[in-house]
Structure 1
Amino acid sequence: MSRKETSPWMVYGRYGLVLLLTATAVQNGAATADAQYVNARTAAALLCGAALLVRRLAWFIAPLSATAATGVWGWPMLPLLLVAVFDLAAQRRAVVAAGCCVAVLAANTVAPTAVSLWRPQQYGAGLFLLLAVVGGLWLGNRHRLVQALDTQVEHLRIERELREESARAAERSRIAAEMHDVLAHRLSLIALHTGVLATKADALPAPVGERLTLLRTASTEALTDLRDILGALHTPHAGANPPVPVLRDVHELCEQARAAGQQVDLHTHGRSEDAPAAHRLALYRLLQEGLTNARKHAFGAPVSVRVDYGSPATVVEVINAPGVPATGTAPSGYGLVGLRERVRALGGHLSAGPHGAGSWRLAARIPHPAPTEQNGPHTP
């Protein structure tokens, strides 16, 4: 494990442990050398401890030095070898760790009795070495598992963000296509009426006739531009989708839901003409999503729908009572993400979440534009 992959507390803990074991090795080495601290054992213990602490060295230096020191001076150097073997196992070098253990145990068969790993317990050192290898393997596998899970979570987070962004982009494209239908209808009416009036230009003053011709030409060109925009926004399979209904279909949508078995209670306030066209299209999409979610997640539960077109804001609220999820439904997608993007683009706010005891509420409030922006004169 590299230093950047471990927490600071683990790094400090390792430093403290290695320093403590190095001091223990020096003390034990001096005890086996008639209390002489200045000797080869002390130098070997310090070199092994330094090799374990300096992580920039080649990976084999620390275990090689600890193996050599333990093979020559026996049990006083064993704690440092345990750390080196533990590191090897954690780094998925269990074969090398086992080789170091075998080499040390073989070398100590001819070591002096005072420092031999085979005394006083014949298999005590071997058990400690085995535990170090097993512990290193466990910790290394756990660390790699945690790292893999962190990577997977990060990938899922990025994928979720990309899906949400894709849903927002699709909703923006859908808004533009819907507004194309609305504007094309109105421009077609303007072009039709100006064309009828242009046929009677002889009975009108010359400046009025010129204005009518200019207005008819401008509306026709605007229709052409709108068709070009729709072509740029066209996506594969878009032609297979049914045309998006206008506001009057809110009542038809509720009737369709009732025919499908839902209990829908619809309350409307104000006139639909009081809300801008973009608001009416958003209302339909919001109501459609709310009824669909209620049908999927609370099948058979009553649904209360409130729509308010009046100033100062267009409001829609869908509340469904608690119920059981419908069987065989497709998993939830990113419909709310797209709706939130649509409402945000209109300057409104959308909220969706639990409401009361097990109920679910989907509500949106879209403020009306200022009168000067909605009905004010437009100059070319």
Structure 2
Amino acid sequence: MAFGVLVTVTKSVSVSGERYVIPAAASALVCAVVLLVPRWRWPVSPVVVTAVTTWWGSLTILLLAVVMFDLAVARRRRTAAVCATVALSVNLLGFPPTRFSVDGAYLTVLVTWPFALVVGLWLGNRRRLMRALASEMEHLRVEAQLREEAARVAERSRIAAEMHDVLAHRLSLIALHTGVLATKGDALPAPVTERLGLLRTASTEALNDLRDVLGALREPDAQPQAALPPVLMDVQDLVDEARAAGQSVHLTAQGRPEQVPTTHRLAVYRIVQEALTNVRKHADGAMVTVRVDYRTPATLVEITNTASTVGTVAVDSRYGLIGLRERVTALGGYLHAGPAGAGAWRVAARIPHPLDLGQSGDPA
């Protein structure tokens, strides 16, 4: 901007001596002011600078080039063309010594103004591209956060549904057996009969409360399911199904599943189920090794698969793993999933037993 004002003053001296220095300098300063004030960039500066260039001609070529650059950045190409056309045509009636037809000024115009226009278009497109990329990155970041949160909420809802089924099954058995015993009150002492009645009432109320609290946490569109006894949630069944589907799976189980909490067995079942599903989707043909240890002080589960034999890559969207991590963390444990070298993938979890919470650590 300052360079354009300096060029205007210098050329006015060379053209007319000192006679028109002050008017030319004043005109150039006015153009500089309207170009420097942001709120005057449009539409004041194009009108003012075009009018000044129309009169002073070759003295203010650079100032109009700045205007054309700004218009090009703002994608106002037609306005830039109109400004250039008006300046070139009406200048024939302007200040005679500085008309574009004098001293080959048209050649300078043909070089300066198109160059400013092209550079402005390029810079404007680049700025818009960067803003679009930044907006897209922010959109993807927010979308990833929402998906991650949705995975956590879905897993919590699934846990609530499973616990509702399991605990409802257990409480209904307690209420059933205490009711049967209460019917034989004649053969039992009065205090025992009274306690059985209290136990049956408490178990029935607990069952109702459980349905109200955990049942409300189910997904809104989820269909009611029958109670699922824990004995059916067996890792061996998953392995048998995977083998029947053509997967190569080796299972090693240690300890007795019935000696650990039901929540541990459900978590192990879900971890193995998710891992085998991911292997089928992302590493078809890989050899899978499943190791489960129910012995104290913690339930351990580890699933490792070799590299795929058909060229697929073991990469997961991680949202299923986020849900599993939410489940394991809720039980006070840890879950790790990641590459295991040479294209292999490993998922491992450690869930401490209730009496050994202080000994929990990272998956081995």
TM-score by length of 1: 0.84
Q: Is residue 2:45 matched to residue 1:45?
A: no
Match of 2:15 among 1, 8, 32: 32
Match of 2:56 among 66, 69, 73: 73
| 1:1-380 alignment, distance < 5 Å | 18-34=1-17, 39-57=22-40, 59-111=42-94, 114-118=97-101, 119-120=103-104, 122-229=106-213, 231-232=215-216, 233=218, 235-239=220-224, 246=231, 249-324=234-309, 332=317, 334-370=319-355
| Aligned AA (1:358) | G
Residues 317 and 362 of structure 1 are in contact (CA less than 8 Å); yes or no, is this contact kept in structure 2? Answer: yes
Name the SS for the 2:64 alignment partner.
helix
Q: Deviations over 1:162-221 (max 9, x none)?
A: 222112111101101101122112212222221222122223332221111000111112
| Aligned AA (2:333) | G
Q: How many angstroms does 1:69 deviate by?
A: 1.8
Q: Deviations over 1:292-330 (max 9, x none)?
A: 111111111100111122222222111110115699xxx
Change (3 A) 1:206 1:37: farther
Unaligned runs of 5+ in 2: 359-364
Residues 302 and 348 of structure 2 are in contact (CA less than 8 Å); yes or no, is this contact kept in structure 1? Answer: yes
Q: How many angstroms does 1:291 deviate by?
A: 0.5
What root-mean-square deviation, in Å, do the aligned CA atoms of Structure 1 and Structure 2 show? 2.7
Q: Deviations over 1:45-76 (max 9, x none)?
A: 11111111110226121122211222222222
Figure out how many residues of one structure are paired with residues of the other and give that number: 353
Structure 1: distance between partners of 2:318 and 2:225:
20
Which moves more between the two structures, 256-265 or 61-70? 61-70
Structure 1: distance between partners of 2:109 and 2:236:
84
Name the SS for the 1:238 alignment partner.
coil
Q: How many angstroms does 1:113 deviate by?
A: 6.2
Q: Deviations over 1:198-254 (max 9, x none)?
A: 122223332221111000111112222233345422532434799586575201111
Structure 1: distance between partners of 2:226 and 2:199:
33
Structure 2: distance between partners of 1:359 and 1:139:
46
Unaligned runs of 5+ in 1: 1-17, 374-380
Structure 1: distance between partners of 2:228 and 2:124:
58
In percent, how many aligned pairs have the same letter? 54
| Aligned AA (1:130) | P
Residues 178 and 244 of structure 1 are in contact (CA less than 8 Å); yes or no, is this contact kept in structure 2? Answer: no
Q: How many angstroms does 1:255 deviate by?
A: 1.1
TM-score by length of 2: 0.87
| Aligned AA (2:286) | A
Q: How many angstroms does 1:158 deviate by?
A: 1.7
Change (3 A) 1:227 1:369: same
Change (3 A) 1:30 1:313: farther
Residues 66 and 81 of structure 1 are in contact (CA less than 8 Å); yes or no, is this contact kept in structure 2? Answer: yes
Change (3 A) 1:352 1:149: same
| Aligned AA (1:295) | R
Name the SS for the 1:300 alignment partner.
coil
Residues 295 and 326 of structure 1 are in contact (CA less than 8 Å); yes or no, is this contact kept in structure 2? Answer: no
Residues 246 and 281 of structure 1 are in contact (CA less than 8 Å); yes or no, is this contact kept in structure 2? Answer: no
